[in-house]
Chains A and B, each alone.
Chain A
Amino acid sequence: MSHVIEMIGIRKEFPGIVANDDITLQVEEGEIHAILGENGAGKSTLMSILFGLYRPDRGIIKVRGKEVHITSPNDAFDLGIGMVHQHFQLVHNFTVAENIILGKEGGFVYDIKSASKKIKEISDRYGLSVDPEMVIEEITVGMQQRVEILKMLYRDADILIFDEPTAVLTPQEIDELMQIMRNLAAEGKSIILITHKLDEIKAVAERCTIIRRGKLIDVVDVKSTSAEDMAALMVGRPVSFKVEKSEAMPKDVVLEIRNLNVMNNKKVLGVKDFSLSVRRGEIVGIAGVDGNGQSELVEAISGLRKVESGNIIFNGKDITNASILERNEMGLGHIPEDRQKRGLILSLPLSTNFVVKEFFKEPYSRHGILNNEAIEEYGEKIIDKFDVRSGEGIHSYAGKLSGGNQQKAIIGREIEADPELLIAVQPTRGLDVGAIEFIHKELVKERDNNKAVLLVSFELDEIFNLSDRIAVMNAGRLIDIVYTKDTDEHAVGLMMAGIKKEERSEE
């Protein structure tokens, strides 16, 4: 069998870290080859080397048996290597066809008609069903991704790299993408799939290269290896996917949202007529694809965004127009979506970050004078309790911590403040399996401590694993609230696309 891509003994060092340490990757022609690894394991570095964004310190790259030096993405294009990035690179007010030929117009006057025809042909051949005349901003995210794929195919790429392609898709769109990948492979394209999601690998890949901390761990045959075994290889120890939790015992309502309307940044309603209640002792998960009003909803609850109309009731008090400080003081904890922007002050030490909501209270200060001893003691406590690892303990600058430890620091701060309601937005984004396990356990612990937890996540696995009830959001509206035990991913997936149960039964 011939290797279409061979990367042999690749080493890449960044100051203070070996990102790739003697990694070898061999991809066969026409196969779907997955690269599995935790965040920071070195997957992206390896692919960036293949795509010409980095030069390796050591090692050779062979494409179709011939040794090559790829020094820029253009070299990669010339070798037929195309990459579908996690973040799409499309011009929003251009049509699909215009986006695809961008950079390949050829000549002063370009022929959009014949380009459209070619695009249509490619689209039909691989079952992409993309209309070249549509404008990008009018099509769904899933279709935008297919435009990215088309872009590669239009440039005659036959080695396609997919970088975490499912992060922005609904479950149904993921299924469609998987089918497209199979079609592409059947037509002789070779596919490299970068991901940390095992079920996707199980669904489409034939072989899987597993990387851990910059080192090649194993290349496994996907069919004959269980997901658990692959996960263990990825993390270096057995992991449990299921969060251990007992039946919820919900009590009185802590948070009640009534007919809430909130503007988004574009000055149109991002949250529309939204009602929801969260009770003590339960985790309510808000499912939905990114950008469907979840951020606006959370910002409205936490006081960061103005409410247009409707009410937010917290422990029986109307807090619709209360200040952020008042809400914090009433016991509203919030693990924000963007941990580096909102969650931490990166240029200040951890000890300061831990008391950023408490510093004006005793014992951390008295009569306006800070009590550093008490502040440091409190910091030590959080670090010990939540296993926040850093070079210099509480004196480390928050920006020097790894993503997982930054998140643990925030969660430690919020939980230690003993909130009545904890809002957790994307609490495990970008974290490794170990940190995810830890954070999930902490959230369940909060629930079992008789607190209310509102979870917002774009990862359906996380929603299903943690939530007792699932509220599905689409285009700013609440589509439905269901008990987790009464539903499945398929049903929630349809709701995420905006299709309600009753409507489906009418079909």
Chain B
Amino acid sequence: MKSKLVNKPLEARKASPLLVSLSAVFLGIVAGALLIALIGKNPVTGFDRIIFGALSNVRRVGNTLGMATQLILIGLSVAFAFKTGLFNIGASGQMLMGGITGSILAYYIPLSMPRPLYLLIIIIASALVGALWGFISGFLKAKFNVHEVVSTIMLNWTAYWLVYDWIQRFIVDPTIVVKSKPIETVHTLRADWLTELTGFSTLNYGFFIAIIACVVIWFILEKTTLGFRLKAVGSNRFCAEYAGIKVNRSIMISMAVAGALAGLAGLTYYCGYSNIMEMGKMPNEGFDGIAVALLGNCSPVGVFFSAVFFGILKMGRGSLAATGIPTEIADTIIATIIYFTATNVILANFWNGRFRKSFEKMEEAVGLALKSQGRESVNISDLSKEERKELQKLGKPMLKEQKQKEKNIGKEAK
């Protein structure tokens, strides 16, 4: 790819989304530390415990990744919808629908079916049902202009009660009537080699599904005409419409893809991470996914890492209790990070201000250095990076001297 930058003027650096996200994480951790200190405990022990609980051995790492699996898929679902201008707040419902589909199939498909075929069927089926659930919201928006936030929340509860009924009706555990019958391990996404490798953790094939989904979504968004359409509609539907892109169709496709991802999350959660479905439980992951997407700046790579990070906090919180630090601290850190990511403009402004200041200082120093060499007419933009650095080094003491002089003059004036 030959991309040439056309006479880009020299200017101060801009804060990247990564820096902003990392700042939010940092501030969240600081806030958590403050809270731990406030209740009279040692913050270092607190974070030590979280890390211990999440990462101290292969089993724990496995569990953290097992937990992160759902978060990656839900985060992707929300991020994909975001990128295409939609707010998918219905990931929980789509997840339930994907989960119940997988669970029912796991219950009824005979164990004799070859496992690869079986896995393929449940993966496709739960993705399709999740897609259908998302599509309904997209359809309502496209045809009747029902805002997706309203319809997805509504569909969350529809899914909730459908699942409530279907567990009883199709897959109930006769001994404990509020749960589904546990799925045989060979019918879950668990794999013996993974389980053994990670000391019997919850890690399962779902993690690979999540990674593949990240790659696929990245590819769709960046490399395909479909992604082009969806992003155009998401960024400015009026311009997209004018350009001849079918806006309504894009909205429906986008919601269906988001739903499919959440449906897969349901499969990995109920038929991998766990092997039962409980009646009357709305999965929290649907909402955590919003935080994951925000922190990950809605990019597939960002979503992956932020999901793993949240996975660490979620798995590590269990070990906090032993130290007398309430486990809610971990949730508070997550919440604080969400606040800071949501106010990312403030963080970006902070960094941009810092960059500008240091840039101005560099300009001044280089200017002074050039002056001392009698090259005042040289434009800073025309210098090479190395030259600039050298001149800056040269000019720094001069700048200090000048500042000192100004200060002295100011003192004398007083």
1/0 per residue, CB under 8 A from A, across B205-234: the answer is: 000000000000000000111111001100
Please tell me which stretch of B130-138, B236-244, B269-277, B362-370 contacts chain A, meaning at least 4 of its Cβ atoms lie within 8 angstroms of it: B236-244
Min C-beta distance of B216 to chain A, whole Å: 13
Contact B243 A356 (CB under 8 A): yes
Contact B2 A373 (CB under 8 A): yes
CA of A304 to CA of B245, assembled, Å: 12
Q: Does B235 contact A (CB under 8 A)?
A: yes
Q: Does A328 contact B (CB under 8 A)?
A: yes
Q: Return the contact of B6 from the options A334, A342, A369, A393 (Cβ within 8 A).
A: A393
Q: Does B5 contact A (CB under 8 A)?
A: yes
Interface-central residue, B6, B9, B238, B245, by most chain A CB under 10 Å: B6
Interface magnitude class on chain A: 35 or more
Q: Return the contact of A360 from the options B9, B225, B242 (Cβ within 8 A).
A: B225
- If A348-B231, A370-B223 touch, whether A328 touches B244 (CB-CB below 8 Å) is yes
Contact A342 B239 (CB under 8 A): yes
Q: Does B8 contact A (CB under 8 A)?
A: yes
Min C-beta distance of A316 to chain B, whole Å: 21
Interface-central residue, A323, A324, A328, A380, by most chain B CB under 10 Å: A324
Complex contacts, B224 vs chain A, CB 8 Å? 365, 368-370
Interface-central residue, B5, B232, B239, by most chain A CB under 10 Å: B239
- If A352-B228, A369-B224, A391-B9 touch, whether A328 touches B239 (CB-CB below 8 Å) is no
Complex contacts, B9 vs chain A, CB 8 Å? 391
Q: Return the contact of B5 from the options A342, A345, A356, A395 (Cβ within 8 A).
A: A395
Contact B225 A356 (CB under 8 A): no
Complex contacts, B3 vs chain A, CB 8 Å? 376, 395
Complex contacts, A328 vs chain B, CB 8 Å? 243-244
Complex contacts, B227 vs chain A, CB 8 Å? 370
Q: Does B246 contact A (CB under 8 A)?
A: yes
CA of A360 to CA of B230, assembled, Å: 13
Q: Return the contact of B244 from the options A324, A369, A395 (Cβ within 8 A).
A: A324
Complex contacts, B241 vs chain A, CB 8 Å? 304, 324, 342
Q: Return the contact of A341 from the options B1, B231, B239, B243 (Cβ within 8 A).
A: B239
Contact A369 B242 (CB under 8 A): no
Residue of B nearest to A324 (CB): B244
- If A392-B8, A393-B6 touch, whether A325 touches B246 (CB-CB below 8 Å) is yes
- If A348-B235, A369-B223 touch, whether A336 touches B242 (CB-CB below 8 Å) is yes
- If A347-B236, A383-B6, A392-B8 touch, whether A302 touches B223 (CB-CB below 8 Å) is no
Contact A393 B1 (CB under 8 A): no
Min C-beta distance of B168 to chain A, whole Å: 44
Give the residues from 284 to 323 in chain A that come closer than 8 angstroms, CB to CB, to chain B: 302, 304, 323
CA of A115 to CA of B3, assembled, Å: 68
Q: Does B4 contact A (CB under 8 A)?
A: yes
CA of A359 to CA of B228, assembled, Å: 8
Q: Does A346 contact B (CB under 8 A)?
A: yes
Q: Return the contact of A370 from the options B8, B228, B243 (Cβ within 8 A).
A: B228
Complex contacts, B245 vs chain A, CB 8 Å? 325, 356
Min C-beta distance of A127 to chain B, whole Å: 44
Contact B6 A325 (CB under 8 A): no
Min C-beta distance of B196 to chain A, whole Å: 40
CA of A54 to CA of B397, assembled, Å: 39
Min C-beta distance of A429 to chain B, whole Å: 17
Give the residues from 4 to 41 in chain B that come closer than 8 angstroms, CB to CB, to chain A: 4-6, 8-9
Complex contacts, B2 vs chain A, CB 8 Å? 373, 376
Q: Does A58 contact B (CB under 8 A)?
A: no
Contact B238 A341 (CB under 8 A): yes
Q: Does A208 contact B (CB under 8 A)?
A: no
Contact B242 A302 (CB under 8 A): yes
CA of A447 to CA of B243, assembled, Å: 23
Q: Does A372 contact B (CB under 8 A)?
A: yes
- If A328-B243, A345-B239 touch, whether A370 touches B225 (CB-CB below 8 Å) is yes
Complex contacts, A323 vs chain B, CB 8 Å? 244, 246
CA of A383 to CA of B5, assembled, Å: 13
Q: Does A59 contact B (CB under 8 A)?
A: no
Min C-beta distance of A97 to chain B, whole Å: 40
Q: Does A357 contact B (CB under 8 A)?
A: yes
Q: Does A344 contact B (CB under 8 A)?
A: yes
Q: Does A343 contact B (CB under 8 A)?
A: yes
Complex contacts, A369 vs chain B, CB 8 Å? 223-225
Min C-beta distance of A207 to chain B, whole Å: 38
Contact A343 B244 (CB under 8 A): no
Min C-beta distance of B14 to chain A, whole Å: 12
Q: Return the contact of A342 from the options B8, B235, B242 (Cβ within 8 A).
A: B242
Q: Return the contact of A392 from the options B5, B236, B239, B240 (Cβ within 8 A).
A: B5
Complex contacts, A395 vs chain B, CB 8 Å? 3, 5
Min C-beta distance of B272 to chain A, whole Å: 31
- If A352-B228, A369-B223 touch, whether A392 touches B6 (CB-CB below 8 Å) is yes
Min C-beta distance of B3 to chain A, whole Å: 6
CA of A344 to CA of B238, assembled, Å: 9
- If A325-B246, A336-B242, A373-B2 touch, whether A391 touches B8 (CB-CB below 8 Å) is yes
Contact A348 B232 (CB under 8 A): yes
- If A372-B1, A373-B2, A395-B5 touch, whether A357 touches B243 (CB-CB below 8 Å) is yes
Contact A373 B1 (CB under 8 A): yes
Min C-beta distance of A242 to chain B, whole Å: 32
Min C-beta distance of B253 to chain A, whole Å: 13
CA of A325 to CA of B245, assembled, Å: 7
Q: Return the contact of B1 from the options A304, A334, A356, A376 (Cβ within 8 A).
A: A376
Nearest 8 interchain pairs by C-beta: A393-B6, A325-B244, A345-B236, A356-B243, A324-B244, A328-B244, A342-B242, A345-B235
18 contacting pairs across A/B (C-beta < 8 A): A302-B242, A304-B242, A324-B241, A325-B245, A342-B238, A344-B239, A345-B235, A345-B236, A346-B236, A365-B228, A368-B225, A369-B224, A370-B223, A370-B225, A370-B228, A373-B1, A376-B1, A393-B5
Residues of chain B touching chain A, judged by Cβ–Cβ distance below 8 Å, are: 1-6, 8-9, 223-228, 231-232, 235-236, 238-246
New A-B pairs, 4, CB < 8 Å, besides A346-B235, A368-B225, A376-B1: A327-B244, A357-B244, A365-B228, A370-B227
